[in-house]
Each structure stands twice: as structure tokens, then as C-alpha cells.
């Protein structure tokens, strides 16, 4: 991409008092939890579940099962053109940044960034571009270069000065995928991630993320 891009980060703590900002995607998992009469209890239950699971995994020096606490920040990324006179920005992605508080030593450990990945460009591609492309087609297909812009923007953000100055560690992206393909266990089991499954063929989402070399960094 020849045009120089600027990135701006905004963060908000994801705790029991979390209220989604006006610019947050309303369909994100964390925004859904913070709605309705039981919003605060939903948030407490979610945070308790996260802490319990983390302490279960880090059990070897954690006899009482409550030594560690996971802290979460929602990082919103906005993008603008460096040559723009108006300074208008475009909401690009939202990710979670983790920190681990060791309550025994008082030390705070930087975790990874990425986790629950939310992308406005992906929303457009799957909600508007893809249905429009297939509107009058007898057989489902994807337009040429589908996902390339998304991959290039993400790669440019991760390699930017802004990312390196504020986030540092390489991202680990987790997404939820709905698919009609059949999954089969392949025999691998990770101590944290669990059982690995393999599907019979790639879905459109698999191709969108995994098959685009620009998304891999």
C-alpha cells in the first residue's frame, strides 16, 4: 500500500463496570455481555470464570487456586491517512490486551494482545461485499482478491510504530467461525487449547484469513 497510514489506539478496561463506548461494534462478545438488567452480574461471572480457568492452568505454584488475576483491556484501533487534511479516522479493529496480576508478589505480567479479534473491514466484506457478489449467481463464490485489503491493513498496523510502541508482543488472533463443514478429531491434544479438529475442506472464513499471505505476519 503506497498511502502512508496513521494508527491511533484507544483503550478501556474490561471489568464489572465496563460500558461499551459509542464506537464499539455492538455485536462483539464483550459488548453483548454488558447489556440488560443483569449486565454487571454477567461481567462478574465472566471475569470469575476467566480467573478460575487461568488459576487451574497455573496450578503448580498456586496451592489455593487464587494466586493470579487476569486483567483485560479492549484496544480500539482507528486508522487515518497521513495526507488527510481533515484528520478523519476510520475504525479498523478491536482486540483484547491481557495482563496477569500475581497477587502473591504484586507483580503485573504483560500478556498477549489479539485474542477476541473484531474487524470492521471483515464485517463489510462478509455482510455487504460477499452477499452482493453472490446475489445473482447460481453457485457460491468469492470475488477476486477477497480478504486482501483486510490482510494488508492488519499487516501494516502490526508493523507500525504505534503497535510496537504500545503493544510490543506479536498478536495471537482468536476468532469464532460458523461453518457447515464436518470436523473430525485428528489425535492431537494441547494441554491448554484442548483437542484439535480438522475439517474436510476450507470454509470461506478459513480462506479469508488463512489463505491470504498478507494476513500472516
What is the C-alpha separation between 147 and 212, in angstroms, rounded? 7
* Residue 192: inside a domain: yes
Total domains in the fold of the chain: 1
Q: What is the DSSP string of 44-111?
A: HHHHHHHHHHHHHHS-TT-TTS-SEEEEEEEEEEEEEETT-SS---EEEEEEEEEEEEETTTTEEEEE
126: containing domain: 5-210
* Residue 41: inside a domain: yes
Q: For 68-96, what is the mean pLDDT? A: 84
Q: Write the pLDDT tens digit of every residue in 134-166.
A: 998 999 888 888 888 888 898 899 999 999 998
Contact 123, 24 (CB under 8 A): no
Confidence of residue 186 (pLDDT cuts 50, 70, 90): confident
* Residue 113: inside a domain: yes
First to last CA, the chain: 16
Q: Write the pLDDT tens digit of every residue in 21-55.
A: 766 665 567 777 888 888 899 999 999 999 999 99
Q: Minimal CA–CA distance to 167: which of 111, 91, 90? A: 111
- For residue 91, pLDDT over 60 is answered with yes
* Residue 215: inside a domain: no
Amino acid at each position: 500500500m503506497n498511502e502512508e497510514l496513521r494508527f491511533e489506539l484507544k483503550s478501556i478496561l474490561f471489568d464489572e463496570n465496563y460500558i461499551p463506548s459509542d464506537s464499539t461494534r455492538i455485536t462483539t462478545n464483550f459488548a453483548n455481555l454488558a447489556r440488560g438488567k443483569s449486565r454487571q452480574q454477567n461481567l462478574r461471572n465472566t471475569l470469575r470464570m476467566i480467573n478460575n480457568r487461568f488459576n487451574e492452568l497455573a496450578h503448580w505454584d498456586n496451592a489455593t487456586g487464587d494466586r493470579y488475576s487476569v486483567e483485560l483491556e479492549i484496544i480500539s484501533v482507528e486508522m487515518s491517512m497521513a495526507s488527510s487534511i481533515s484528520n478523519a479516522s476510520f475504525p479498523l479493529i478491536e482486540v483484547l490486551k491481557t495482563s496477569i496480576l500475581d497477587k502473591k508478589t504484586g507483580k503485573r505480567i504483560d500478556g498477549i494482545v489479539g485474542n477476541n479479534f473484531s474487524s470492521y473491514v471483515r464485517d463489510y466484506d462478509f455482510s455487504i461485499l460477499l452477499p452482493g457478489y453472490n446475489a445473482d449467481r447460481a453457485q457460491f463464490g468469492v470475488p477476486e482478491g477477497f480478504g486482501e485489503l483486510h490482510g494488508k491493513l492488519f499487516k501494516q498496523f502490526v508493523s507500525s510504530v504505534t503497535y510496537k510502541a504500545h503493544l510490543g508482543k506479536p498478536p495471537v488472533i482468536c476468532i469464532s467461525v460458523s461453518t457447515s463443514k464436518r470436523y473430525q478429531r485428528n489425535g492431537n491434544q494441547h494441554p491448554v487449547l484442548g483437542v484439535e479438529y480438522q475439517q474436510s475442506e476450507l470454509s470461506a472464513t478459513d480462506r479469508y484469513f488463512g489463505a491470504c499471505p498478507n494476513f500472516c505476519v
